[in-house]
Amino acid sequence: MQEKLQTNLCVLKRSRKKPQAGDIFTFQLQQLPEVYFYGRVVKTDTKIGNIDNVILVYIYKKTSSDKLQIPDLCLEDLMIPPKGINALPWAKAYFETISNRPIAHKDTYPIHCFKFVDPLSGIKYFDEYGNKLTECLEPCGDWGMGGYLTIDYAASKFANFLNP
């Protein structure tokens, strides 16, 4: 029997639509049920961690007490570096897409950087399509696909800072 993974994410509204670039989504944590957190789908065709069609998302520090009252989502307000994830958070209803807005140049980084630690040859950096970079570009994420538990961990850590 498969053990259910523990999460602080609340179940919201299930989405049957595949995430698309420009989608703005919200999520909640059990420890702050009156607060909505936000994220944005930046790309859906990336190759992060040598896995095709990874969803590149930004997760923001900005929150709201009203799900549909979306705060300004600025690059300066990222909670974590850009992250490659799968579609499971939408399928499990942890993420609810509430809007789609075209992505302007000011809304995204021109190049995304992901760090890979190779035990044999050291640290390497790649962009969101698996192209090797010559240097680290901040904010630099991890070279690999995450899921809802990755977001849960980061957001819960941030929530503990908001509500000690």
Specify if 103 maps to a domain.
Answer: yes
Q: What is the pTM of this model?
A: 0.93
pLDDT digits over 1-11, tens only? 455 568 999 99
Specify if 134 maps to a domain.
Answer: no
Specify if 125 maps to a domain.
Answer: no
- In whole angstroms, give the CA distance from residue 84 to residue 55: 5
- In whole angstroms, give the CA distance from residue 95 to residue 115: 26
pLDDT at 5: 64
Which sign, positive or negative, has the C-alpha torsion 101, 107, 113, 115?
A: negative
The continuous run of DSSP H or E covering 53 comes out as strand 51-64
**Residue span of the structural domain in which 67 resides:** 23-109+145-159
How many domains in the chain?
1
Specify if 11 maps to a domain.
Answer: no
**Which positions of the chain have pLDDT values less than 50?**
1
Specify if 116 maps to a domain.
Answer: no
pLDDT at 76: 96
pLDDT at 84: 97
pLDDT at 107: 95
Specify if 13 maps to a domain.
Answer: no
